[in-house]
Structure 1
């Protein structure tokens, strides 16, 4: 911020007003993209529609997101990826036993998926979005597969699971089940606990199969 051509001194650790405004505008554009997507789908989520919803010009939108709506939706998707992974990593670190570990990785996904707009966007499988989301699609899932592969390998080493199926294959199948649960909870948020119970039952079945 400037007054009479003189810069105002910034307090240590304080975000400058100009940067606050930039972050706010960026957030408004992202939220507008999510709202327009929910109402009109990817095909209807044009730059013009998003800018109008945000109360901004197309020039402003492109100044924040040079690739237009592709940038917007990649950013939204990666934000969700990062929140899922941050929360899941913390919960997983504190979990014990394969059932607890799988639930620790699943619960944040379903909690976030149950949010209005967010879940429907994150669980969306519209093929026309793939070119936009390809760079970030699967980021969280791959990280979870790696964690589960280690968990299953440890369970086998400890003798609690005797399955000869490759741990990576089992991890991929479990992540597939959690993605299916995400699609359900995005449409019916009240199913969250039932879906978690279903995932737990799947894992207990694997352990009993040993």
Structure 2
């Protein structure tokens, strides 16, 4: 008798998780990016060399290049992406904790401006980093997420009658993100202007309210 064919509508094979070797590789890359960010924060971008990364991380130059064949540029791209992802997480948490829609939008300004005011990491993320990371998935992690979150917050506020109905949420979000980015570039060079930029952003946001 021909054996019955196995059923085809059951669950498929379990998705294989990362192997121990893959986990070790990911841990090494994480440690290397940690070292890059620590060096930038302490000494600035100019002193962020492969030799210094190897020294701070305790990982040999050969291993650094094995994980990052592109060398310093590849490491800086990953460090830039890490800052972007961390910024998105902080901003989302702050926006979620805010009650009123204006406060939700202001959370984007406060998170970005706080990073921008960091004398070295802020300059890397807002000024020097974008000149190095001109394309690829690393570019625009923070601004893309902010545009999406701001647009969603505006649409929800419109549904409650709190934001003017004729406001284009998507286009307005893009404009606000552009204003935030330009302000952050300025703050990276002049941290004392953070409060003035925050107040100006709040005035822009307030103009969106339904009257």
Which TM bucket (shorter chain)? Answer: 0.7 to 0.9
Return the offset for 1:151. 1.1
CA, structure 1 residues 33+126, in 2 after alignment: closer, same or farther (shift >3 Å)?
Answer: closer
Return the offset for 1:127. 7.0
Question: Could you tell me which residue of structure 2 aligns to residue 15 of structure 1?
Answer: none
Kept after mapping to 1: 8 A contact 2:33/2:79: no
Return the offset for 1:194. 1.7
Output the CA distance in 1 between the equivalents of 2:130 and 2:78. 18
Return the offset for 1:181. 1.4
Return the offset for 1:183. 0.6
Return the offset for 1:100. 0.6
Output the CA distance in 2 between the equivalents of 1:125 and 1:52. 21
Kept after mapping to 2: 8 A contact 1:33/1:73: no
Return the offset for 1:98. 2.5
- In the TM superposition, what whole-angstrom CA distance separates every residue of 1:1-32 from its partner, at most 9, and x where no partner exists? xxxxxxxxxxxxxxxxx99x956565334544
* Helix, strand or coil at the partner of 1:206: coil
Question: Could you tell me which residue of structure 1 aligns to residue 4 of structure 2?
Answer: none
Question: Could you tell me which residue of structure 1 aligns to residue 19 of structure 2?
Answer: none
Question: Could you tell me which residue of structure 2 aligns to residue 28 of structure 1?
Answer: 35
Structure label with greater radius of gyration: 2
How much is the aligned-residue C-alpha RMSD, in angstroms? Answer: 2.9
Kept after mapping to 1: 8 A contact 2:123/2:189: yes
5+ long unaligned stretches in structure 1: 1-17
- Mean Cα deviation higher: 50-59 or 178-187: 50-59
Q: TM-score normalized by structure 1?
A: 0.73
* Helix, strand or coil at the partner of 1:198: helix
Runs of 4+ aligned structure 1 residues displaced above 6 Å come to 33-37
Quick check: 1:121 aligned with 2:151? Answer: no
Quick check: 1:53 aligned with 2:58? Answer: no
Output the CA distance in 1 between the equivalents of 2:148 and 2:80. 20
Q: TM-score normalized by structure 2?
A: 0.73
Quick check: 1:187 aligned with 2:189? Answer: yes
* Corresponding residue pairs, total: 182
**Candidates 110, 132, 138, aligned match of 1:107:** 110
Question: Could you tell me which residue of structure 2 aligns to residue 139 of structure 1?
Answer: 141
Return the offset for 1:158. 1.8
Quick check: 1:83 aligned with 2:90? Answer: no
